[in-house]
Chains A and B, each alone.
Chain A
Amino acid sequence: MAAFRAQGLAKRYGNVTALGGVDLEVGEGELVGLLGPNGAGKSTLVKIACGLVRASAGSAEVAGAPAGSATARASLGYLAELFRFPGWYNADELLALHQRLAGSEGGADERAELLDLVGLSEAKTRKVEDMSKGMQQRLGIAQSLVGKPRLLFLDEPTSALDPVGRRTVRSLLEELRRRGVSVLLNSHLLSEVELVCDRVVILSKGLVVAAGRTEELARPRGVEVDTDEGTKLFESARREDAPKIVADLVGAGQNVYGVRVLETTLEEIYLEAVEGETS
């Protein structure tokens, strides 16, 4: 059973189509990156999955239950793109509140573990209003993990983080993968997505325009070889052509110092898929 499945999912706001019929699946323990320009429908898709927005057509299921149902909500964790926590709570109290709302019996141990996971152990008693934006974002991630959800929806979880904070989140995502938690990661940071996600789905104008593993989506761009005469690019060559290219060059009396098989990057895949569209 898929952790999340959307079939023909559509959402219209008056005359504006936010989602035009999306099919998407996140498998158990899979980490899927959701990419697309602003206004592509990424946040709408996640909000429908969490029961915050009602779909105009199609269906969405979380852990086999209709999206928005109590069963579905009990199976997921969610970090909104734009969120705020009441400033008068400290980190520990906020997590305790969400434990009560989620019906978690993890108690103080769970709260301590979550704060440790996001690097906020030292800020356990610090009030939200005294935290930096980055700390609040990490607290938001910890909040989304309360109750050990099977599926996590993260909407731009690293947007306010510095490089160290991003690395913390990357490590956290890898830890979640080890624990078998499914994640749908909505992000603009292609490098982050490329590093941690098993698959990517690219949305544009409310439709899926590309989906698959990065390697599957990538196209060969040739083989580059460093020789005595400089770097040579064999544009039509593929990975399997590399040994023959090297052998021919060596046979011709040249020294070979390096060989690189070139493929399109995720950024190039993305730009081709959305055809340069931006918000």
Chain B
Amino acid sequence: MQESVRRRVFPVVLILTAAFLGLYSFGVYKAYQSIDPFATESIGNGGEISLVDTQVLFSATLFGLSIFAVLFLGTVLAIFLTHAVVRGDAERGLLQPLVVRPVGRAALLAGRFGAAALVCAVYVILVYTASLLITHWVTGWWPDQIFLPAIELAVAIAVLVGISLFGSILLSSIANGIAIFMVFGAGLVAGLLGQIGEALNSDSLNTIANVASWALPFEALYQDALNRITSDTEGFTKVALSLGPFGGAQPAGAWLWPWVVVYLAALGLIGLWAFNRKDL
């Protein structure tokens, strides 16, 4: 935390986040003005029916977009806080004076993970909450679930912090930063493939998406968070949502949380093994 403050990470992040939230508010407000949230269809005998709840479709889609942006901003913060923790800091001579102290390498790695994960998780929850309030302020809509998606996004960022820290043991800082951005992109692409596979009923695409979600559980957490915001929505509105880029997300199932715990533990143990063997 102190490091982030002193390195002026927070002012930069705050300015950029404020810019994002300002643009998001403006965009949601102007877009909502351009639609009729209570539009109905004529059913021929003089009556009218609302097949799709336009307010829900609009709000959930834009809030889904903001969730993607929150994950992206959190990922940028996570990468910049952790991409050079081991090899990068060792090459600059920052690490050696710390590692020779009795606290040792395990405590150093755990401390850096805990601190970065906490900072990023708090950030993600705050921006998620701000987006949620903006969306509600403009449209009057609340997601079907509010708290679990926020927690899942925070854990997704913690997983990315873990992957970035692990990468920092093996790769130079620049290579690791690039690699983590690519892993993040690959995860999102796999998620989109899964949504397309679901729409086209393609087993191959679904398998690819499933394997990617297990290999990169931040993607499964993100998809599950997206799914939860409209988990109780039904009928044509749900069908219409599933056709959009943020509405076709699949629930992750009961094994997601145990798998995330095992995944993080395995990353930590393998990372510590590699760190302990590393000559500094």
By a beta-carbon cutoff of 8 Å, the part of chain A in contact with chain B is 47, 50-54, 70, 73-74, 76, 78, 80, 82-86, 88-89, 98, 101-103, 140, 143
Contacts and interface: CB of A to CB of B under 8 A. Distances in A.
Contacts of A53: 279-280
B254 interface: no
A53 B90 CA distance: 12
B265 interface: no
A85 B97 contact: yes
Contacts of A47: 279-280
A184 to B, nearest CB: 14
B100 A51 contact: yes
B101 A83 contact: no
Interface in B62-95: 92-94
Interface residues of B, number: 18
A82 B93 contact: yes
Contacts, number: 57
Given A52-B280, A53-B279, A84 B94 contact: yes
A253 to B, nearest CB: 67
B101 A102 contact: yes
Contacts of A73: 100-102, 104
Given A73-B104, A84-B92, A88-B3, A78 B279 contact: no
Contacts of B104: 70, 73
23 contacts: A47-B279, A50-B96, A50-B100, A52-B96, A52-B99, A53-B280, A54-B277, A70-B102, A70-B104, A73-B104, A74-B102, A80-B97, A82-B93, A83-B93, A83-B94, A84-B93, A85-B97, A88-B3, A88-B7, A98-B97, A102-B101, A103-B102, A143-B97
A256 to B, nearest CB: 56
- Of B92, B101, B104, the most chain A CB neighbours within 10 A belong to B101
Interface in B1-20: 3, 6-7
B102 A85 contact: no
Contacts of B98: 101
Contacts of A89: 6
B49 interface: no
B70 to A, nearest CB: 28
A70 to B, nearest CB: 5
B43 interface: no
Contacts of A51: 99-100
Tell which of A76, A85, A98, A101 has the most Cβ of chain B within 10 Å.
Answer: A101
Contacts of A78: 96-97, 100
B200 interface: no
Contacts of A82: 93
A86 B9 CA distance: 14
Contacts of B7: 88
A85 to B, nearest CB: 7
B197 to A, nearest CB: 46
B50 to A, nearest CB: 58
A74 B101 CA distance: 7
Given A51-B100, A84-B92, A88-B3, 8 more contacts: A50-B100, A52-B96, A52-B99, A54-B279, A80-B97, A83-B96, A84-B93, A143-B97
A86 B94 contact: yes
Nearest to B276: A54
A5 B145 CA distance: 64
A70 B100 CA distance: 9
A53 B280 CA distance: 6
Contacts of A102: 101-102
A82 B97 CA distance: 10
A70 B99 CA distance: 11
Nearest to B104: A70
Nearest to B94: A84
Contacts of B97: 78, 80, 83, 85, 98, 140, 143
A85 B93 CA distance: 8
Nearest to A50: B100
B279 A101 contact: no
A54 B6 CA distance: 34
A65 B104 CA distance: 15
Interface in B100-154: 100-104
A50 B102 CA distance: 11
A47 B102 CA distance: 15
Contacts of A140: 97
A88 B5 CA distance: 9
Nearest to B278: A54
B93 A101 contact: no
Contacts of B103: 101
B102 A86 contact: no
Contact of A85 (B6, B94, B101, B280): B94
Contacts of B280: 47, 52-53
A66 B280 CA distance: 18
Contact of B101 (A54, A80, A84, A101): A101
Contacts of B92: 84
